[in-house]
Amino acid sequence: MHPHTESEIRKSFINCSKGASQRINIPQEVLHTDWESQIFLGWYDPKSPRAGYVVAETENGLRGLVLEKSPQKATGGARMCQICLTLHPASGVSLVSIQRSKSAKDRYNTVGTYVCSDLACSDYTLGRRKPDGVRQMEETMGVEERAERTLANMRGLIQRVAEAMGR
Report d(CA 38, CA 29) in Å as an integer. 13
- pLDDT confidence of residue 108: 61
Q: Which of 65, 69, 67, 68 is nearest to 14 (CA)?
A: 65
Instruction: Please list the rounded mean pLDDT of every run of 10 residues in the chain (167 residues).
Output: 95 92 93 93 92 96 94 79 91 88 64 92 92 80 94 96 81
> Which burial class, exposed, middle or buried, applies to 15 when counting CB atoms under 10 A from its CB (0-12, 13-18, 19+)?
buried
pTM for the full model?
A: 0.89
Res 76: pLDDT: 74
Identify which of 34, 159, 30, 44 has the alpha carbon closest to the alpha carbon of residue 100: 159
Q: How far apart are CA 161 and CA 167, in angstroms?
A: 9
Give the pLDDT confidence score for residue 167 in this predicted structure.
Answer: 67
What pLDDT shows up at residue 102? 59
Phi-psi domain of 119 (left: phi exceeds 0; alpha: psi -120 through 50; beta: other): left
pLDDT of res. 163: 86
